[in-house]
Each structure stands twice: as C-alpha cells, then as structure tokens.
C-alpha cells in the first residue's frame, strides 16, 4: 500500500477503534515517513485510550526526528503534541499530577512556542501551535494566557474554529468566576460560538471527527451572535491596548470603554478579624502599585515602539546594524519593568497568605521550599501553605506557580524573558534591525534582533497582565472560601475609591 493509503486507513481507525489503530501502527517500519506516521498514530490513538506506553513510543520517535532535523518546526509541533498527550495519559490523583507531569508539560510548551513563532513554518503549523499551547496552559488553569494564544492562533489562521472554541471556554470560565462584564462576555461567547460553527471544516482538519463532535456538543446551545463594533474610534494608544488585549480589566477580551479608568480590575474587599486594627490592609496598597507599575510599563512600550521619546544624544556607530538611542533603551526598560511586576506579585501573594519571607522573595523562589543547607534538591518542593491553598481549590495560585516554572527552568518557554531582563539590568542589551545578530566576545553584550525583541517584549507585557489577573483571582477565590467557612456575622472590609477621596473627578 502507498503511505497515503496507510495513513488514511489508520486515521479512520483512530475514531472507530483506537486500540486497533495502535496495534497496526506498531507493525509499521521502514523509512522516516513511515516512522513519523507510526508516531502520529501512536500519539493520537494512544491519547484517545490514555495508553501511556503507546504515546511514549510515539514521543520517542518524534524526539529522535527533532534531534536529526532541528530546524523543522512541524516535527517540534508533533513532539509537543506527544508530550502533552503523555501528560494527559498520566492518571490524575491529586495535585501531585502537576509534579509528575512537569517535565513533559514544560518541554511541550517550549516546543509549541518555538513552532508558533517560527517565521519559516506554515501559517497552519503556527496557528495550530498557538492553539495547542493555549490548550496546554488551560490544563493548569492559566486561562488568561490561553486566551491570548487562542487569539494569536486566529491571527495566523482566521478560520481556526478550534482556537475560537478554546477562547470561548476561557470566557465561560471568567463568567463562572464572576470576572468581567457579564453582557460583554455573553456577546463575545456568542460571536466565538458562531465562528466555530462556521468553520467546522477547519476543525475537522485540525482535530478530526472526534474533535468536531466535542466542540459541536459544547456550543450547540449557544445562540448566534456578532462581535460588537466600537461605537467611536479610539485614540491610537487606546487602540493599541485594546487590540493587543493589554487592559487590566476583568473582561479580558477587547472592548470599548465607557470610563477613562478602563484598567479597572481591583480587589474589592477582604475579610478582617474584628480584633485587628482599623487601618486598611496592605494588600490594597500593593495592588495599587502593581497596577500603576504595569500601566507605566505598557505606556513605555508604546512610546518606545512609536519612537515618541525625544532624542538628545548622539552615538558612535558600531558598524553592525545596531540601534542606539533613548527609544531602544525605553523598550528594554519596558520589558524589564514588566518582569519586575512578577516579583511584586510574589511578595504580595506571600504577604496576603501570611507566609514568612515575603519581603525578600522573588517570583522564581516564592512558591518553593528552600533546600536545606549543603543539600542540593533534585526537584523543587512547593511550600506546604501553597500546596494546601491549591488543594483547597485555588486554581489561580496554581497558575502562578506554573508561570514561575516556565520562567526559572531552562526548558521553560518563558526562560528567554528572564535572560533578556538580566541582560538589560546587569549587562548591555543591543538591538539590531538588519543583518546577522553578532555574538559578544566578552559576554558583556547581549545582542537581539529588534523585531524579535519587540515581539517578546509585547508577550512579556501580556505575561505580566496575566499574572496580575491571576493574583486578583487568587484573592477572590480565597476570600469566598474563607467567608463560607466562618460562622456568625461576616463583615468584609470595603475600601473607598482613591479618585473620590482625592477629588480627581470633581
């Protein structure tokens, strides 16, 4: 049989009899194309029946292929799919599942991210990679990031119904968590459901018949709707913020704003012990600073990329197409400032949870036990207070710990952001807008392609925004639980508007 015929036969078996598909795939051997078909069937059919061994065999084939063809993003995409299936084939018992599957999920996210951002990859591979990265992030409740990547998937392929159905799930989650404007969420959910219904052919080509059935079942009761268009054109800066999903708003998707205070996510109230003092808890000051730091980093990024800072310096040309000036420095500062916000989120989280060491912590270290003196731990262990809060159902806190792993682990898809931040803080960040990016002989300079650094800085802003929203959600979840556990009268403490107190709107 021709390889195309074998593929068609085995693909048909995946939906009808996945065990038989696995059995027949194991009989395949021969050239690289047959081996890759074997791996694809083992991963897809193995995922259907949660056969860890079948998926592992497929992953091993894809990993060997990636090692042999390191520039092939389609292979990286397939390896990532296999690693994700491997994690999902691991039996979920409790929170320990995240530790047991950490390595597979870290590597999967890294490979999806590389494939999604490879300019040489096809738009289909980039779109599918963004989509599946969103799916993988959602498995650890990183719903804000997932929504962003589903949006990017639709940018790569506007007909990607799998991505619109994924984005729809994230908005339904926000609605169930009572986050965001209900009417705006419903309108967007209806639009996304309509988009998915209109693109079943793409869903079939990306996810097969099983995927089509799952998505159709999920959206069948959602009525048809259109995306609401803004009533008025907004200013350039606001248009940039809205189009890139950069508002600090509990309604996480793009929408027009009725107020000048459109970065309006807040901690509305916390429960306090009646025996405590009468001052406003520090968490309100903390969220104020976190928000204002983010808004400034976002403004810095916009001004730098639009070259709005006046230049008063003249510079030596280093004859390697490097870009020098205040706007380049402002762009590096915006990226660094966005990552600095994560450290403040970590401090605020430990302080709010009453965990010792908040003052001196960082986002990379906050969630994990310190290793005993003189002892090197193979794996980081989550602090017992963090573990207990997650076990109590605080999915937003789990999301924060998972973001930390992607930043701190060399295999994490966010680790390059940490490298860029360290470079601009302690060494010299040099951006190049043309030609090959050089290597520093001394190691004191870090050279980056300008467009790549620009894109990564925008993604860093999105990451900071996601982490702020997870932090606010973490407080909301915990406060609801604590209130439900208390007997007698519960008196939450509400704080007034800073703008009202200061008279800014008079």
Mark whether 47 and 126 lie in a shared domain: yes
SS (H, E, C) 223-241: CCCCCCCCCCCCCHHHHHH
| Assigned domain for 491 exists | no
- Which helix (H) or strand (E) element contains residue 333? helix 326-353
Mark whether 208 and 307 lie in a shared domain: no
**Residue 286 corresponds to which tokens in the numbers above?**
């903390």
Mark whether 338 and 192 lie in a shared domain: no
| Assigned domain for 387 exists | no
Mark whether 211 and 332 lie in a shared domain: no
* Average pLDDT of the segment spanning 417-425: 70
Q: Taking the mean position of all CA atoms in its chain, how far away is CA 242? A: 18
* Average pLDDT of the segment spanning 214-233: 81
Out of 184, 219, 254, pick the residue that ends a domain: 219
Choice among 273-277, 335-339, 405-409 with the minimum mean pLDDT: 273-277
| Assigned domain for 504 exists | no
**Residue 406 belongs to domain spanning:** 282-367+402-485
Mark whether 196 and 328 lie in a shared domain: no
Mark whether 209 and 287 lie in a shared domain: no
Q: What percent of the chain has pLDDT over 70?
A: 91
The pLDDT assigned to 238 comes to 87
| Assigned domain for 393 exists | no
CB-CB contact of 413 with 142 (8 Å): no
Out of 187, 203, 219, pick the residue that ends a domain: 219
Residue whose structure tokens are 């965990």: 355
| Assigned domain for 287 exists | yes
Mark whether 215 and 288 lie in a shared domain: no
pLDDT at 280 over 70: yes
| Assigned domain for 271 exists | no
* Average pLDDT of the segment spanning 93-113: 92
Mark whether 37 and 186 lie in a shared domain: yes
Out of 191, 219, 247, pick the residue that ends a domain: 219
Max mean pLDDT among 4-13, 128-137, 179-188, 403-412 falls in 128-137
CB-CB contact of 453 with 331 (8 Å): yes
Mark whether 37 and 180 lie in a shared domain: yes
| Assigned domain for 312 exists | yes
Mark whether 206 and 335 lie in a shared domain: no
Distance between CA atoms of 149 and 495, rounded to whole angstroms?
35
* Average pLDDT of the segment spanning 199-206: 92
User: Predicted confidence band at 60 (pLDDT cuts at 50, 70, 90)?
Assistant: very high
Average pLDDT, the chain: 89
Residues 6+ apart with CB under 8 A from 427: 444, 445, 446
Mark whether 297 and 179 lie in a shared domain: no
For the domain that residue 100 is a member of, what is the CATH number?
1.25.40.10
| Assigned domain for 252 exists | no
pTM of the model: 0.91
Please tell me which residue, 132 or 427, carries the higher pLDDT value. Answer: 132
* Alpha-carbon torsion (235, 237, 241, 247), positive or negative: negative
Mark whether 49 and 178 lie in a shared domain: yes
End-to-end CA distance of the chain: 80
> How many domains does the chain fold into?
2
């Amino acid at each position: 049989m021709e390889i195309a015929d074998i593929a068609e036969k085995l693909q048909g078996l995946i939906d009808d009899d996945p065990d038989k598909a696995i059995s027949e795939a194991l009989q395949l051997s021969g050239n690289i194309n047959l081996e890759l078909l074997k791996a694809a069937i083992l991963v897809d059919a193995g995922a259907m029946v949660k056969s860890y061994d079948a998926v592992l065999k497929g992953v091993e084939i894809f990993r060997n292929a990636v090692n042999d063809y390191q520039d092939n993003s389609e292979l990286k995409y397939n390896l990532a799919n296999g690693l994700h299936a491997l994690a999902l084939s691991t039996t979920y018992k409790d929170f320990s599942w995240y530790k047991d599957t950490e390595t597979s999920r870290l590597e999967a996210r890294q490979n999806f991210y590389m494939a999604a951002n490879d300019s040489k990859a096809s738009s289909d591979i980039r779109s599918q990679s963004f989509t599946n990265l969103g799916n993988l992030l959602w498995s650890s409740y990183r719903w804000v990031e997932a929504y962003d990547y589903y949006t990017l998937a639709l940018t790569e392929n506007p007909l990607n119904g799998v991505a619109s159905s994924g984005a729809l799930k994230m908005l339904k989650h926000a609605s169930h968590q009572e986050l965001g404007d209900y009417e705006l969420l419903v309108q967007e959910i209806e639009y996304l459901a309509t988009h998915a219904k209109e693109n079943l052919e793409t869903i079939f080509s990306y996810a097969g018949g099983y995927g089509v059935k799952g998505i159709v079942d999920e959206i069948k009761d959602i009525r048809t709707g259109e995306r609401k268009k803004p009533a008025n054109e907004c200013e350039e800066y606001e248009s940039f913020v809205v189009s890139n999903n950069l508002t600090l708003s509990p309604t996480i998707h793009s929408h027009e704003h009725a107020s000048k205070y459109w970065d309006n996510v807040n901690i509305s109230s916390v429960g306090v012990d009646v025996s405590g003092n009468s001052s406003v808890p520090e968490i309100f000051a903390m969220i104020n600073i976190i928000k204002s730091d983010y808004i400034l980093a976002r403004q810095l990024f916009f001004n730098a990329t639009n070259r709005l800072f006046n230049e008063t310096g003249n510079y030596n040309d280093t004859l390697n197409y490097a870009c020098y000036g205040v706007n380049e420095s402002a762009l590096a500062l915006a990226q660094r400032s966005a990552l600095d916000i994560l450290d403040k989120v970590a401090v605020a989280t430990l302080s709010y949870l009453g965990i010792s060491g908040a003052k001196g912590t960082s986002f990379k270290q906050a969630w994990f036990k310190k290793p005993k003196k003189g002892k090197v731990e193979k794996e980081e262990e989550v602090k017992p207070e963090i573990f207990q809060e997650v076990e109590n159902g605080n999915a937003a806190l789990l999301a924060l710990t998972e973001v930390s792993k992607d930043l701190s682990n060399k295999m994490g898809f966010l680790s390059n952001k940490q490298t860029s931040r360290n470079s601009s803080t302690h060494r010299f960040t040099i951006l190049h807008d043309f030609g090959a990016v050089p290597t520093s002989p001394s190691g004191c300079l870090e050279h980056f392609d300008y467009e790549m650094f620009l894109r990564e800085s925008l993604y860093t802003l999105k990451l900071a925004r996601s982490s702020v929203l997870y932090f606010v959600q973490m407080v909301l979840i915990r406060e609801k639980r604590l209130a439900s556990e208390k007997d007698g009268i519960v008196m939450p403490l509400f704080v007034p508007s800073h703008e009202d107190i200061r008279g800014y709107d008079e």
